[in-house]
Chain A
Amino acid sequence: MTPLLPLLLDFLLATVLIGGGIFALVGSYGLLRLPRPMQRLHAPTKATTIGVGAALFVSALDLAGQGQISWQEILITLFLLLTAPISALFLAKTLILRGEADPDLPATGTGTPWATLGSEHRDP
């Protein structure tokens, strides 16, 4: 007789994995479908996060199910959450600087320009 609990766990993990895969696919599809460069930035920064996140979650739980604790999945999640916003920020700044972002940026409301378009600062 197959033990019921591990079987249920396997089904649950498989569902999460497939769901994550679908989101990753949607993220890539967004790159193709959205027309403007700034819009295209949205799809990969979000949908891909949950795709990778789901894979890591399943990997950690699967190892835990075998009685091992793996910390590296937590590390990968942490690095992903740290780096994704930074790469998105730099892509956005590049688009603004090259004039390929959507035009008419709003005023800053502070009397100074947006940092990318302002004068350069020296390093400390």
Chain B
Amino acid sequence: MRRLFPHPYLTLTLVILWFLLVNQWKLGSLVLALMLGTVIPLVTSAWWPDRPRVKRPFGLAAYAVLVLWDVIVANFQVARIVLFMPRDRIRSNWISVPLDLTSPEAISLLAGTITMTPGTLTADMSACGRALLVHALHAPDPDAVRDDIKARYESRLKRIFE
């Protein structure tokens, strides 16, 4: 079983996604969904050797709501900078964010969150995976942005995943 379904949750997710995609209940869809749900995890398992562990799945839902709210706020902030701030007053900065997270899934989620939220963008990762390179559109105080990312997102992800 373990070799046929290396990621059972991925299989389940793919089946559900397939039904959302076809938008109706039919037996043929279930067969195709199960085929995709078996083949895709098998083919991609070489790049994803370990099963992700989520300690608090409900924390993930609360986290999603928080991020969604921040995305909306981010849009207003970025729109204001784009529209009204004089070009030479935009202070872009690189920020190096040291990571306390070790789970690859949690780090990917953090990197994605940084890209989607206020004026920041994940640009790279250190070769050892212990730090993220973040670009901020307008950050007169880069250290404050780094502390904000660590306190607002990383600490929550650490509680959910580790």
Contact = CB atoms under 8 A, between A and B. Distances in A.
Contacts of A72: 20-21, 23
Interface residues of A, number: 53
Interface in B103-162: 111-112, 115-116, 119, 121-128, 130-131, 133, 135, 137
A111 to B, nearest CB: 8
A92 B126 contact: no
A78 to B, nearest CB: 8
A92 B23 CA distance: 36
A84 B71 CA distance: 13
Interface residues of B, number: 40
A79 B61 CA distance: 17
Contacts of B71: 46, 49-50
B26 to A, nearest CB: 15
Contact of B98 (A85, A96, A109, A114): A109
B23 A47 contact: no
10 contacts: A23-B75, A33-B82, A42-B137, A47-B82, A85-B115, A89-B124, A104-B94, A108-B131, A114-B124, A124-B46
A41 B135 CA distance: 10
Interface in A1-59: 23, 26-27, 29-30, 33-36, 38-39, 41-43, 45-47, 49-50
B121 A112 contact: no
